[in-house]
Structure 1
Amino acid sequence: MTKKFKIGRFDLDIQLRDEALDPLNTPAKRMAANASIGIEPFDAYYSTRELREAVEGVHQGEPGAKKRLARILGTQCDDYQRCLYYQLAGRGIVQMLDVLCWLEEILAKRTIISADLFRAKTWPAIMVNPYVAAQPDGPLVSADPNFEEGPSWYLDPDLGGIIEE
Protein backbone atom coordinates (compact mmCIF):
# COMPACT_ATOMS: atom_id res chain seq x y z
CA MET A 1 0.00 0.00 0.00
CA THR A 2 1.36 3.39 -1.03
CA LYS A 3 1.20 6.10 1.58
CA LYS A 4 1.00 9.77 0.69
CA PHE A 5 2.64 12.35 2.88
CA LYS A 6 1.71 16.00 2.94
CA ILE A 7 4.95 17.85 2.40
CA GLY A 8 3.61 21.39 2.18
CA ARG A 9 4.06 23.97 -0.53
CA PHE A 10 7.13 24.17 -2.72
CA ASP A 11 9.52 27.05 -1.93
CA LEU A 12 10.39 28.71 -5.25
CA ASP A 13 13.31 30.48 -3.56
CA ILE A 14 15.01 27.33 -2.29
CA GLN A 15 17.79 27.28 -4.91
CA LEU A 16 18.38 31.01 -4.48
CA ARG A 17 18.71 30.49 -0.72
CA ASP A 18 21.18 27.65 -1.31
CA GLU A 19 23.23 29.72 -3.79
CA ALA A 20 23.24 32.70 -1.42
CA LEU A 21 24.79 30.55 1.31
CA ASP A 22 27.17 28.49 -0.84
CA PRO A 23 30.74 29.39 0.22
CA LEU A 24 32.00 28.18 -3.17
CA ASN A 25 30.07 30.96 -4.94
CA THR A 26 31.71 34.33 -5.37
CA PRO A 27 30.43 37.16 -3.18
CA ALA A 28 28.89 38.73 -6.31
CA LYS A 29 26.88 35.58 -7.04
CA ARG A 30 25.76 35.28 -3.43
CA MET A 31 24.61 38.93 -3.46
CA ALA A 32 22.69 38.48 -6.71
CA ALA A 33 20.99 35.34 -5.38
CA ASN A 34 20.02 37.16 -2.17
CA ALA A 35 18.67 40.13 -4.15
CA SER A 36 16.39 37.79 -6.11
CA ILE A 37 14.76 36.06 -3.15
CA GLY A 38 11.09 36.98 -2.97
CA ILE A 39 10.94 38.54 -6.44
CA GLU A 40 8.06 37.13 -8.50
CA PRO A 41 9.58 34.42 -10.76
CA PHE A 42 8.63 35.83 -14.17
CA ASP A 43 9.53 39.38 -13.16
CA ALA A 44 12.91 38.28 -11.79
CA TYR A 45 13.76 36.25 -14.89
CA TYR A 46 12.72 38.82 -17.49
CA SER A 47 14.23 41.72 -15.54
CA THR A 48 17.56 39.90 -15.23
CA ARG A 49 17.49 38.88 -18.88
CA GLU A 50 16.70 42.44 -20.01
CA LEU A 51 19.53 43.83 -17.87
CA ARG A 52 22.00 41.20 -19.09
CA GLU A 53 21.09 41.89 -22.73
CA ALA A 54 21.55 45.64 -22.26
CA VAL A 55 24.90 45.30 -20.45
CA GLU A 56 26.09 42.80 -23.07
CA GLY A 57 24.99 45.18 -25.83
CA VAL A 58 26.97 48.08 -24.34
CA HIS A 59 30.00 45.82 -23.96
CA GLN A 60 29.74 44.73 -27.60
CA GLY A 61 29.15 48.30 -28.83
CA GLU A 62 25.69 47.59 -30.24
CA PRO A 63 23.79 50.66 -31.48
CA GLY A 64 21.18 51.84 -28.99
CA ALA A 65 22.50 49.63 -26.17
CA LYS A 66 23.62 52.55 -24.00
CA LYS A 67 20.21 54.18 -24.42
CA ARG A 68 18.53 50.90 -23.42
CA LEU A 69 20.72 50.50 -20.32
CA ALA A 70 20.13 54.13 -19.30
CA ARG A 71 16.37 53.61 -19.71
CA ILE A 72 16.46 50.45 -17.55
CA LEU A 73 18.41 52.18 -14.79
CA GLY A 74 16.25 55.31 -14.92
CA THR A 75 12.82 53.70 -15.09
CA GLN A 76 10.07 54.46 -12.57
CA CYS A 77 9.55 50.87 -11.37
CA ASP A 78 10.86 48.92 -8.39
CA ASP A 79 14.59 48.89 -7.77
CA TYR A 80 15.34 45.21 -8.58
CA GLN A 81 17.26 45.83 -11.81
CA ARG A 82 19.13 48.77 -10.31
CA CYS A 83 19.94 46.61 -7.29
CA LEU A 84 21.46 43.91 -9.51
CA TYR A 85 23.33 46.44 -11.65
CA TYR A 86 24.86 48.35 -8.74
CA GLN A 87 25.82 45.18 -6.89
CA LEU A 88 27.94 44.28 -9.91
CA ALA A 89 29.00 47.72 -11.18
CA GLY A 90 32.74 48.28 -11.02
CA ARG A 91 33.62 44.58 -10.66
CA GLY A 92 34.57 44.28 -14.30
CA ILE A 93 32.37 43.58 -17.28
CA VAL A 94 33.40 39.90 -17.51
CA GLN A 95 32.35 39.20 -13.91
CA MET A 96 29.18 41.28 -14.32
CA LEU A 97 28.09 39.30 -17.38
CA ASP A 98 29.14 36.00 -15.80
CA VAL A 99 26.98 36.65 -12.74
CA LEU A 100 24.01 37.88 -14.78
CA CYS A 101 24.16 34.81 -17.07
CA TRP A 102 24.47 32.51 -14.05
CA LEU A 103 21.52 34.18 -12.32
CA GLU A 104 19.44 34.20 -15.51
CA GLU A 105 19.89 30.43 -15.85
CA ILE A 106 18.74 29.82 -12.25
CA LEU A 107 15.79 32.18 -12.65
CA ALA A 108 14.73 30.53 -15.94
CA LYS A 109 14.43 27.16 -14.18
CA ARG A 110 12.56 28.80 -11.29
CA THR A 111 10.11 30.34 -13.78
CA ILE A 112 9.43 26.97 -15.42
CA ILE A 113 8.79 25.35 -12.01
CA SER A 114 6.48 28.23 -11.09
CA ALA A 115 4.49 27.86 -14.32
CA ASP A 116 4.23 24.08 -13.85
CA LEU A 117 2.94 24.54 -10.29
CA PHE A 118 0.34 27.08 -11.36
CA ARG A 119 -0.83 24.91 -14.28
CA ALA A 120 -1.25 22.01 -11.83
CA LYS A 121 -3.08 24.35 -9.42
CA THR A 122 -0.50 23.45 -6.80
CA TRP A 123 0.34 26.78 -5.27
CA PRO A 124 3.92 27.41 -4.14
CA ALA A 125 4.87 28.70 -0.73
CA ILE A 126 3.93 32.33 -0.23
CA MET A 127 6.64 34.71 -1.39
CA VAL A 128 7.15 37.99 0.42
CA ASN A 129 8.16 40.75 -1.99
CA PRO A 130 11.23 42.47 -0.53
CA TYR A 131 10.16 45.81 -2.05
CA VAL A 132 7.67 47.88 -0.10
CA ALA A 133 6.97 50.22 -3.03
CA ALA A 134 6.48 49.73 -6.74
CA GLN A 135 8.44 52.87 -7.57
CA PRO A 136 12.02 53.97 -6.85
CA ASP A 137 12.81 55.02 -3.33
CA GLY A 138 15.17 57.91 -3.78
CA PRO A 139 16.99 59.58 -6.66
CA LEU A 140 17.41 57.82 -9.98
CA VAL A 141 20.52 57.59 -12.07
CA SER A 142 20.65 59.95 -15.04
CA ALA A 143 18.90 58.45 -18.05
CA ASP A 144 21.39 60.13 -20.41
CA PRO A 145 22.20 57.56 -23.12
CA ASN A 146 25.54 59.27 -23.76
CA PHE A 147 27.04 58.08 -20.48
CA GLU A 148 30.73 57.26 -20.48
CA GLU A 149 31.78 53.75 -19.59
CA GLY A 150 34.29 53.70 -16.76
CA PRO A 151 37.42 51.57 -16.41
CA SER A 152 35.50 48.45 -15.32
CA TRP A 153 34.15 48.24 -18.87
CA TYR A 154 37.55 48.16 -20.58
CA LEU A 155 40.30 47.65 -17.98
CA ASP A 156 38.79 44.44 -16.61
CA PRO A 157 41.68 42.13 -15.64
CA ASP A 158 39.74 39.26 -17.24
CA LEU A 159 40.02 41.14 -20.53
CA GLY A 160 43.76 41.67 -20.11
CA GLY A 161 43.46 45.23 -18.81
CA ILE A 162 45.68 46.51 -16.05
CA ILE A 163 44.16 48.61 -13.30
CA GLU A 164 46.65 51.04 -11.78
CA GLU A 165 45.99 53.23 -8.78
Structure 2
Amino acid sequence: MKRSEFIGEFDLDAVLTELSVDLDIRVTRRMLAGACIGSNPEDAYLSARELRESLEWIHEGENEGKVKLTTILSTACDDFQRCLYYCVAGKGVVTMLDDLVWLEKLLEARGRIAGHIYRNKLPVKPLVNPYVAAEPDGPLGRFDPSFAIGASWSHDPGPDYDSDDRGPGPKLKG
Protein backbone atom coordinates (compact mmCIF):
# COMPACT_ATOMS: atom_id res chain seq x y z
CA MET A 1 0.00 0.00 0.00
CA LYS A 2 1.11 3.53 -0.72
CA ARG A 3 1.63 6.07 2.03
CA SER A 4 -0.88 8.37 0.30
CA GLU A 5 -3.60 5.82 1.04
CA PHE A 6 -3.14 6.49 4.76
CA ILE A 7 -2.50 10.21 4.72
CA GLY A 8 -5.05 12.73 3.54
CA GLU A 9 -4.46 16.18 2.20
CA PHE A 10 -1.87 18.23 4.06
CA ASP A 11 -3.21 21.43 5.61
CA LEU A 12 -0.66 24.22 5.10
CA ASP A 13 -2.70 26.44 7.43
CA ALA A 14 -2.85 24.02 10.38
CA VAL A 15 -0.02 25.66 12.33
CA LEU A 16 -1.25 29.19 11.55
CA THR A 17 -4.74 28.24 12.70
CA GLU A 18 -3.44 26.76 15.95
CA LEU A 19 -1.22 29.77 16.65
CA SER A 20 -4.04 32.22 15.92
CA VAL A 21 -5.91 30.93 18.98
CA ASP A 22 -2.98 30.06 21.25
CA LEU A 23 -3.49 32.11 24.43
CA ASP A 24 0.09 31.38 25.50
CA ILE A 25 1.55 33.71 22.87
CA ARG A 26 1.36 37.48 22.47
CA VAL A 27 -1.83 38.84 20.98
CA THR A 28 0.09 40.46 18.11
CA ARG A 29 1.49 37.07 17.14
CA ARG A 30 -1.98 35.55 17.22
CA MET A 31 -3.17 38.38 14.97
CA LEU A 32 -0.26 37.90 12.55
CA ALA A 33 -0.84 34.14 12.35
CA GLY A 34 -4.56 34.67 11.71
CA ALA A 35 -3.83 37.26 9.04
CA CYS A 36 -1.73 34.71 7.11
CA ILE A 37 -4.31 31.92 6.98
CA GLY A 38 -5.12 31.16 3.35
CA SER A 39 -2.23 33.20 1.98
CA ASN A 40 0.02 31.87 -0.75
CA PRO A 41 3.08 30.44 1.05
CA GLU A 42 5.70 32.15 -1.11
CA ASP A 43 3.88 35.48 -1.31
CA ALA A 44 3.23 35.52 2.43
CA TYR A 45 6.87 34.86 3.28
CA LEU A 46 8.21 37.45 0.86
CA SER A 47 5.66 40.03 2.02
CA ALA A 48 6.48 39.51 5.69
CA ARG A 49 10.20 39.66 4.97
CA GLU A 50 9.89 42.84 2.92
CA LEU A 51 7.86 44.49 5.68
CA ARG A 52 10.30 43.39 8.40
CA GLU A 53 13.23 44.67 6.35
CA SER A 54 11.63 48.09 5.92
CA LEU A 55 11.01 48.41 9.67
CA GLU A 56 14.52 47.20 10.44
CA TRP A 57 15.98 49.81 8.08
CA ILE A 58 13.93 52.53 9.79
CA HIS A 59 15.17 51.32 13.17
CA GLU A 60 18.75 51.47 11.89
CA GLY A 61 18.22 55.04 10.65
CA GLU A 62 18.28 54.24 6.94
CA ASN A 63 15.99 56.52 4.90
CA GLU A 64 15.31 53.68 2.44
CA GLY A 65 13.22 52.07 5.19
CA LYS A 66 10.76 54.96 5.29
CA VAL A 67 10.52 54.98 1.50
CA LYS A 68 9.89 51.23 1.46
CA LEU A 69 7.28 51.38 4.24
CA THR A 70 5.38 54.22 2.57
CA THR A 71 5.45 52.25 -0.70
CA ILE A 72 4.10 49.14 1.05
CA LEU A 73 1.29 51.06 2.75
CA SER A 74 0.23 52.95 -0.37
CA THR A 75 0.45 50.22 -3.03
CA ALA A 76 -2.84 49.44 -4.75
CA CYS A 77 -2.82 45.67 -4.24
CA ASP A 78 -4.56 43.43 -1.72
CA ASP A 79 -4.40 44.54 1.91
CA PHE A 80 -2.12 41.74 3.17
CA GLN A 81 1.04 43.73 3.97
CA ARG A 82 -0.99 46.63 5.36
CA CYS A 83 -2.79 44.15 7.58
CA LEU A 84 0.51 42.76 8.88
CA TYR A 85 1.88 46.24 9.53
CA TYR A 86 -1.18 47.42 11.42
CA CYS A 87 -1.12 44.26 13.55
CA VAL A 88 2.21 45.40 15.02
CA ALA A 89 2.15 49.18 14.53
CA GLY A 90 2.70 51.15 17.70
CA LYS A 91 3.80 48.16 19.78
CA GLY A 92 7.39 49.37 20.07
CA VAL A 93 10.13 48.75 17.54
CA VAL A 94 11.73 45.84 19.40
CA THR A 95 8.39 44.06 19.75
CA MET A 96 7.42 44.87 16.16
CA LEU A 97 10.64 43.42 14.81
CA ASP A 98 10.56 40.46 17.21
CA ASP A 99 7.04 39.55 16.09
CA LEU A 100 7.83 39.99 12.40
CA VAL A 101 11.00 37.87 12.67
CA TRP A 102 8.89 35.21 14.41
CA LEU A 103 6.33 35.38 11.59
CA GLU A 104 9.00 35.36 8.90
CA LYS A 105 10.56 32.16 10.31
CA LEU A 106 7.14 30.55 10.57
CA LEU A 107 6.25 31.47 7.00
CA GLU A 108 9.65 30.36 5.70
CA ALA A 109 9.09 26.90 7.22
CA ARG A 110 5.55 26.82 5.81
CA GLY A 111 6.93 27.74 2.39
CA ARG A 112 9.57 25.01 2.50
CA ILE A 113 6.93 22.43 3.38
CA ALA A 114 4.67 23.73 0.61
CA GLY A 115 7.55 23.53 -1.87
CA HIS A 116 8.23 19.92 -0.92
CA ILE A 117 4.54 19.04 -1.20
CA TYR A 118 4.08 20.76 -4.55
CA ARG A 119 7.31 19.35 -6.06
CA ASN A 120 6.36 15.83 -5.05
CA LYS A 121 2.74 16.29 -6.14
CA LEU A 122 1.43 15.27 -2.72
CA PRO A 123 -2.16 15.96 -1.77
CA VAL A 124 -2.70 19.35 -0.16
CA LYS A 125 -5.84 21.07 1.05
CA PRO A 126 -6.62 24.01 -1.20
CA LEU A 127 -5.82 27.39 0.29
CA VAL A 128 -8.77 29.74 0.44
CA ASN A 129 -7.52 33.22 -0.38
CA PRO A 130 -8.63 35.53 2.44
CA TYR A 131 -8.92 38.43 -0.02
CA VAL A 132 -11.79 38.54 -2.46
CA ALA A 133 -10.10 41.10 -4.70
CA ALA A 134 -6.58 42.00 -5.76
CA GLU A 135 -7.14 45.69 -5.05
CA PRO A 136 -7.41 47.39 -1.65
CA ASP A 137 -10.69 47.54 0.20
CA GLY A 138 -11.19 51.22 0.80
CA PRO A 139 -9.07 54.29 0.33
CA LEU A 140 -5.31 54.19 0.17
CA GLY A 141 -3.35 56.64 2.26
CA ARG A 142 -0.81 59.00 0.83
CA PHE A 143 2.36 58.87 2.82
CA ASP A 144 5.36 61.17 2.88
CA PRO A 145 8.63 59.20 3.19
CA SER A 146 9.91 61.90 5.54
CA PHE A 147 7.27 61.04 8.15
CA ALA A 148 8.16 61.57 11.80
CA ILE A 149 9.01 58.53 13.85
CA GLY A 150 6.56 58.17 16.74
CA ALA A 151 7.24 57.46 20.39
CA SER A 152 6.93 53.70 19.96
CA TRP A 153 10.24 53.79 18.08
CA SER A 154 12.13 55.30 21.02
CA HIS A 155 10.24 54.10 24.10
CA ASP A 156 9.91 50.37 23.81
CA PRO A 157 9.13 48.13 26.77
CA GLY A 158 10.51 45.15 24.81
CA PRO A 159 9.03 41.89 23.61
CA ASP A 160 8.27 40.57 27.12
CA TYR A 161 5.71 43.35 27.65
CA ASP A 162 2.18 42.61 26.56
CA SER A 163 -0.38 45.38 26.50
CA ASP A 164 -3.16 42.80 26.30
CA ASP A 165 -4.66 43.88 29.61
CA ARG A 166 -7.73 41.80 30.28
CA GLY A 167 -7.80 42.59 33.97
CA PRO A 168 -6.15 40.90 36.94
CA GLY A 169 -3.90 37.95 36.34
CA PRO A 170 -0.59 37.21 34.70
CA LYS A 171 0.42 38.92 31.47
CA LEU A 172 0.91 36.75 28.43
CA LYS A 173 4.41 36.42 27.08
CA GLY A 174 5.87 34.80 24.06
TM-score, scaled to structure 1 = 0.90
Alignment RMSD (CA, Å) = 1.5
Q: Residues of 2 paired with 1:113 and 1:107: CA distance?
A: 10
Q: Which residue of 2 aligns with 1:157?
A: 157
Q: Which SS does the other structure have where 2:158 is aligned?
A: helix
Q: Residues of 1 paired with 2:142 and 2:22: CA distance?
A: 35
Within 5 A, what are the aligned runs for 1:85-124? 85-124=85-124
| Greater CA drift, 4-13 or 71-80 | 4-13
Amino acid at match of 2:133: A
Q: Which residue of 2 aligns with 1:79?
A: 79
Q: Residue deviations 1:105-162, cap 9 Å, x none? A: 0000000011111110114101100101101111112231111111111121239xxx
Q: Residues of 1 paired with 2:72 and 2:35: CA distance?
A: 17
Amino acid at match of 1:129: N
Q: Residues of 1 paired with 2:99 and 2:142: CA distance?
A: 24
Q: Which residue of 1 aligns with 2:34?
A: 34
Q: Which residue of 2 aligns with 1:44?
A: 44
Tell me by how many angstroms 1:53 deviates: 0.2
Q: Which residue of 1 aligns with 2:61?
A: 61
Q: Which residue of 2 aligns with 1:163?
A: none
Moved >2 Å (runs of 4+): 2-7
Q: Which SS does the other structure have where 1:64 is aligned?
A: helix
Amino acid at match of 1:87: C
Amino acid at match of 1:148: A
TM-score, scaled to structure 2 = 0.86
Q: Is residue 2:108 matched to residue 1:136?
A: no
Q: Which SS does the other structure have where 2:18 is aligned?
A: helix
Query: Aligned in 2, Cα 1:46/1:155: closer, same or farther, shift over 3 Å?
Result: same
Amino acid at match of 2:142: S
Q: Which SS does the other structure have where 1:84 is aligned?
A: helix
Which structure 2 residue ranges, 5 or more long, are not aligned?
160-174
Within 5 A, what are the aligned runs for 1:5-24? 5-24=5-24
* Identity level (%): 50
Amino acid at match of 2:81: Q
Amino acid at match of 2:129: N
Tell me by how many angstroms 1:3 deviates: 7.6
